[in-house]
Amino acid sequence: MSVRHSDVFDLLRDGEPRTRAQLAELTGLARSTVSARLDALMSLGLVVPYGGVSTGGRPPSLLAFNPSARVVAGIDLGATHATAALADLDGRVLAEHTDRLDIALGPDRVLGWVEQAIHRLLGERPEDGRDLAAIGIGLPGPVEHSTGRAINPPIMPGWDRYDVPGHVQRAFDVPVLVDNDVNVMALGERHAHLPDVDDVVFIKVGTGIGAGIISGGVLQRGAQGTAGDLGHVFVARGAEVSCRCGNQGCLEAIAAIPALAARVRDAGVEVSHDHEVVALVRGGNPHAVQAVRQAGRDLGEVLAALVNLVNPSVIVIGGSLAVAGEGLIAGIREIVYQRSLPLATEHLSVVPSRAGGLAGVTGAAALAIAHVLSPDAIDHAAVAE
Amino acid sequence: MSVRHSDVFDLLRDGEPRTRAQLAELTGLARSTVSARLDALMSLGLVVPYGGVSTGGRPPSLLAFNPSARVVAGIDLGATHATAALADLDGRVLAEHTDRLDIALGPDRVLGWVEQAIHRLLGERPEDGRDLAAIGIGLPGPVEHSTGRAINPPIMPGWDRYDVPGHVQRAFDVPVLVDNDVNVMALGERHAHLPDVDDVVFIKVGTGIGAGIISGGVLQRGAQGTAGDLGHVFVARGAEVSCRCGNQGCLEAIAAIPALAARVRDAGVEVSHDHEVVALVRGGNPHAVQAVRQAGRDLGEVLAALVNLVNPSVIVIGGSLAVAGEGLIAGIREIVYQRSLPLATEHLSVVPSRAGGLAGVTGAAALAIAHVLSPDAIDHAAVAE
């Protein structure tokens, strides 16, 4: 409620440069108050003179947000890969690095990789070294967002309730924000490609199936942080199929990559690693193509319910199975447009992810930036200066 | 971003009286600024001296929010009933009036009833007559919230895209807010009985089935305002049953009151009006009891998906079938606790509505109050004074 440093800053975040007089008029604050706030923001480097220092003639000096003031790290940890990136405060990726890495190696080894990757990226850009402001991390399991801990994650042995922020902060003394990987991908896709769309659902289809739900521009985590758990919704066609979660009939048990690989094997095709099914689809193997189309229809059954309940305007399909081609999305559309309400589907698009492999790190960086540039954080930093 | 009248007012809305000095300290505003804001708020009657005028000794004079400054009207229009209420700015119902009224009579007759009912309620309280600040209305169909028009409402012939606010404003020159009846009931239940719960889903089971979803404290309307449309989600057990929407397998077609009445009739019980099935359940008729329990299970199938996708902490069951006893909720719990993820159900309650018949008018009043006391409305009114 009080006059905050962030009040002046919020105006400048759109990137448009403004004079002190304009800022005073727009905020209704006294010139002296605006000057005090700007001094604090400039000492933090978040606001800088725009267009260089003037020499004579005293034109009105413009001030602007400086997205290069700090960098953040965005970390995307999948079941079998890890990507780390540095981004500026606009979320632009400055450098990134990917390795194959099994999340089941446990927190010590995986978070050790995270530390090394950030050090290495900062080392490639020594000018950014002192400026790391925060770290965002996406984990492939349910995360208690308030504490940054994974809770009963099915594919992450050794991670249950592990203090991820505490571990990472031993190496980097900055805020560490942790969320579920699909939530983070939803933030990344929206940040990079759908900034003006307020109701976006991002679906990841890979080893598992999950959704990140953004409604009214806000990521929906739900009461316990488990919102968007699409993979364990019941689908009648799978009623007899057991899921690793202990239930029967879960979407994931019939439509994720392991289930598809099993179906293609049953048809007599040799598949040594489950993920080869993606290449088989792209190569036009008829069994694989048919299996992916059916997975799209099964996913469509659950997405039809999601469309009725959540009413998004864009559904983005991402994850490793999404790159297998149009069959998956065609199957989804077939069922969703048939099953959901006309008013809900009239303006609905179902599209492939454009952020692709960078959705995770972009979203993790966006999570870190949202924290660094939050009103509370800015006021706190301005007072500490 | 600017210093607004609402900044001072927001502090007082919690009901705690404060001195000018306290308000200046809490807001960080200059004493003179706080005084100017308070003068405007006091001229609107929204802020008043607390505890009467002091006489000597000059104790610090306290100021407080005055919920009696204005009244709002809350209107709940169902398929076959209409309720109107007056409430103060805390949402306390001051007077209410209910009639049997068929929504299918069309907007002229139904909105004519609304006008008469408000006039009558204001007439019973002549001291409030000049103070009507806004009207909130819940309609039993999909509503485009931004325009207040019902869109393709299935049980409301003559209402499609009808300008409800425009019609009502011919009689009362105040803001008119319109929303779907179930959204409004969700707001009412939370306002009256769950003010500290941020993730609430309200389910109405009657002639139709719908949900109002509040996540993170915010009512979720979705991109087109159709979020929460539970009634037309597919349920395998109803795959062969046709719904009035044109699809097959909709939850509503097997679990709403007309479907239950048909089932009880098929068992040889005489049911002349569908709603008699509620009395049959309460009277212990075994066919009716069994049908309601099965309706609970069918509802549970869809709510299990909703729990995974939305992750609420409380699901409230309301509507005319909810008063039929414990069988409905028992059936829901049976399936939800079996099907949904442990982390999502660990802290989940499924409870009957406590607001009951007043949920609708309480929520419609809350919708009106939220508008009247919004920062924009207060600043606008303060400037107009």
**Confidence band (pLDDT; 50, 70, 90) for A130?**
low
Mean pLDDT of A10-23: 86
- Identify all chain B residues contacting A223, using CB atoms and an 8 Å cutoff: 198-199, 311-313, 347-348
Residue A56 scores a pLDDT above 80: no
**B176 Cα to chain A: minimum distance (Å):** 22
- Chain A residues 310-369 with CB within 8 Å of chain B: 310-313, 339-344, 346-348
**Confidence band (pLDDT; 50, 70, 90) for A331?**
very high
Residue A2 scores a pLDDT above 50: no
Determine what percent of chain A is predicted with pLDDT higher than 70.
Answer: 94
Residue B201 scores a pLDDT above 90: yes
End-to-end CA distance of chain B: 22
Query: For B14-40, what is each residue's pLDDT tens digit?
Result: 888 999 888 888 877 778 878 888 888
Can you say how many angstroms the Cα of residue A146 is from the centroid of all Cα atoms in its chain? 17
In this complex, is the C-beta atom of B220 within 8 Å of any C-beta atom belonging to chain A?
yes
Supply the mean pLDDT for chain A: 90
Q: Lowest mean pLDDT: which of A212-226, B5-19, B254-268, B335-349?
A: B5-19
Q: What is the pLDDT of residue B166?
A: 97
**Confidence band (pLDDT; 50, 70, 90) for A53?**
low
Mean pLDDT of A261-265: 96
Query: For B125-144, what is each residue's pLDDT tens digit?
Result: 766 556 899 999 999 988 98
Domains and CATH numbers, chain A: 5-66 (1.10.10.10), 71-186+360-375 (3.30.420.40), 195-354 (3.30.420.40)
CA distance B226 to A310: 8
Residue B245 scores a pLDDT above 90: no
Mean pLDDT of A322-350: 89
Q: Which string of b and e fits A199-236 if b means at least 16 CB within 10 Å? A: bbbbbbbbbbbbbbbbbbeebbbbbbbbbbbbbbbbbe
Mean pLDDT of B299-307: 96
Supply the mean pLDDT for chain B: 90
Mean pLDDT of A62-66: 91
**B253 Cα to chain A: minimum distance (Å):** 14
Q: What is the pLDDT of residue B1?
A: 34
Mean pLDDT of B185-196: 95
Cβ-based neighbours of A25, under 8 Å, separated by 6 or more = none
Q: What is the pLDDT of residue B2?
A: 43
Closest A-chain CA to B349: A223
- Phi and psi torsions of A80, nearest 5°: -135, 10
In this complex, is the C-beta atom of B302 within 8 Å of any C-beta atom belonging to chain A?
yes
Residue A347 burial (CB count, 10 A): 13
Query: For A86-113, what is each residue's pLDDT tens digit?
Result: 999 999 999 999 999 999 999 999 999 9
Query: For B70-128, what is each residue's pLDDT tens digit?
Result: 999 999 999 889 999 999 999 999 999 999 999 999 999 999 999 999 999 998 876 65
3-state DSSP helix/strand/coil % of chain A, to nearest 5: 45, 20, 35
- 3-state SS assignment for residue A134: strand
| DSSP single-letter state for residue A189 | H
Q: What is the pLDDT of residue B52?
A: 56
In this complex, is the C-beta atom of A91 within 8 Å of any C-beta atom belonging to chain B?
no
Query: For B313-355, what is each residue's pLDDT tens digit?
Result: 999 999 989 888 789 999 999 999 998 877 788 889 999 999 9
- Phi and psi torsions of A30, nearest 5°: -65, 150
Residue A23 scores a pLDDT above 90: no
Q: Lowest mean pLDDT: which of A115-124, A369-378, B69-78, B187-196?
A: A369-378
| Stated pTM of the model | 0.89
Mean pLDDT of A114-119: 96
Residue B57 scores a pLDDT above 80: no
Q: What are the angstrom distances between the C-alpha of A238 and each of A117, A299, B266?
A: 41, 12, 31
Q: Are A148 and A176 in contact (CB under 8 A)?
A: yes
Q: Are A179 and A168 in contact (CB under 8 A)?
A: no
Q: What is the pLDDT of residue B345?
A: 86
Higher-pLDDT residue of B240, A382? B240
Residue A322 scores a pLDDT above 60: yes
CA distance A229 to A236: 17
Residue B373 scores a pLDDT above 50: yes
Residue A364 scores a pLDDT above 50: yes
Q: What is the pLDDT of residue A325?
A: 76
- Chain B residues 130-169 with CB within 8 Å of chain A: 142, 151-152
CB contact under 8 A, B305 and A302: yes
Mean pLDDT of B246-265: 94
